[in-house]
Structure 1
Amino acid sequence: MSTETAPATTESVETEHDHHPSHLQHHFVSSEQQFDSAKLGMWLFLITEILLFSALFVAYAVYRNWNPVAFAEASSTLDWVLGSVNTIVLLTSSLTVALSIHFIQKNDRKKTVISLLATLALAGGFLVIKYFEYMAKFEHGIYPGEAFAPTGSGYEYLAAIPYVPQFFSIYFVMTGIHGVHVVIGMGLISWMAWRAHRGDFSDEWYTPVELTGLYWHIVDIIWIFLFPLLYLV
């Protein structure tokens, strides 16, 4: 005796479609699978970022080993107080972005937006402080590469020390690339704040917020390595 399976009715197809979350892409079977795939993709991207900065850290270590006196003298001209303030600012921003993920998990959209905007403000503060640091160096002829021509009290003596320009070239490259990542992070955070405000996220789906937070944590961690290497060591 054969048994035939009746074709799915239009009503059953529509019912199945109604239970399909709007955020779930058609090639994923569940929200969990989509989140795991997105997180894996983000980690692969972040690994490439870590490799980029690892190469810069290696270059710094090699040149410092070759020219310890020059690097120590050049490092002493950096404002460690401003560097410390920026470190505190970024660590605080890591807390606020983590809170944004916590609040969206609780379906508290208002606090999620506030936390993201606080993160954005702290990131802006970091860049403002870095701008004043850069300007203080440029005013005294401290530029990367062949443009290095220190002038004014407290800086002129650097011209007589070989390999000091290499330190400032590495300094501007490393902090400059990090600054670009901060700007990109600010763009992402602004977008997340806008989407959270209009109700795109909930406790059922907040993957973009979590991935943005993961990116921002990596940006903060990189600075935690940059600060002591450039300002304190």
Structure 2
Amino acid sequence: MRREASPRPVVPRALQFGDEASRQDAAHLGMWIFLATEVLLFSVLFTAYALYRMTYPAVFQQAPAHMDVFLGTLNTFVLVVSSIVVALAVDAIRSGRDFVAAAFLSLASVLGIVFLSIKAAEYAKHVRDGALPGAWYAYEAFSAPGANLYFTLYWVMTGVHAVHVLVGVGVLVTLLMRTLAGEFGARFHTPMELGGMYWHLVDVVWLFLWPLLYLT
């Protein structure tokens, strides 16, 4: 008589790392690896900026005079405040104050949208002036050789960053909805910590873009 093979035991999802602490450590490690790839992406852009700045030093020194320093600085303030608010949200959820955390996430999401709105207004001004990337460059007030390269880098670097901000706002809104649904609390809040890590990276990258493109 042929014996039937006994069914394999069913392993619950996300239990391959053992206890909860091990799973949280694995999640944080995965996020750090992801953030490292993001740093590599922006490092390529910063390297390109450095190379072209060495090739056209005079042009890259004159270019910030044609930028809206006020809007760039205002956006820096908005993003720094939003990063602080996200940190407060994580601290609140760790202590079990879920409604306070939700309020902070709401404020951080609004600040992210404010940042994108200010950036859109700045982009619109550049379009009106003809300060466009590549072959579309037609900014008569700054027509020195290499000026189009500066604005091409400006559009690419700030554009890639803006996409990251947009994704970050989506992450914050998702975390907000899950917090209001009662999914996070003092015992489980790893996704909020990971989302906060991503948002802080977005903030740090802008703190490098702001002086490079607006001040130096």
Tell me the TM-score range normalised by the shorter chain: over 0.9
Q: Which residue of 2 aligns with 1:175?
A: 158
Q: SS at 2:89's partner residue?
A: helix
Q: SS at 1:184's partner residue?
A: helix
The 8 Å contact of residues 93 and 101 in structure 2, kept in 1 or not, is answered as yes
The 8 Å contact of residues 59 and 146 in structure 2, kept in 1 or not, is answered as yes
Q: Which residue of 1 aligns with 2:41?
A: 52
Q: Which residue of 2 aligns with 1:131?
A: 120
CA RMSD in angstroms comes to: 1.2
Once residues 229 and 74 of structure 1 are traced to their aligned partners in structure 2, the CA distance between those partners, rounded to angstroms, is 10
Alignment of 1:112 onto 2:95: no
Once residues 175 and 19 of structure 2 are traced to their aligned partners in structure 1, the CA distance between those partners, rounded to angstroms, is 23
2:16 aligned residue (7, 27, 30)? 27
Tell me how many residue pairs correspond in the alignment.
Answer: 205
- How does 1:1-233 map onto structure 2 within 5 Å? 25-150=14-139, 156-159=140-143, 161-233=144-216
The 8 Å contact of residues 15 and 23 in structure 2, kept in 1 or not, is answered as no
Q: SS at 1:166's partner residue?
A: helix
Once residues 185 and 14 of structure 2 are traced to their aligned partners in structure 1, the CA distance between those partners, rounded to angstroms, is 17
In the alignment, structure 1 segments of 5+ residues that lack a partner are 1-21, 151-155
Q: Which string of whole-angstrom CA distances, capped at 9 and with x for unpartnered residues, describes residues 173-203 of structure 1?
A: 0000000000000111100000000100111
Percent identical:
41
What is the TM-score when the length of structure 1 is the normalising length? 0.86
Q: Amino acid of the residue matched to residue 112 of structure 2? A: A
Structure of larger gyration radius: 1
Q: SS at 1:139's partner residue?
A: helix
The 8 Å contact of residues 78 and 115 in structure 2, kept in 1 or not, is answered as yes
In the alignment, structure 2 segments of 5+ residues that lack a partner are 1-11
Q: CA deviation at 1:109?
A: 1.0
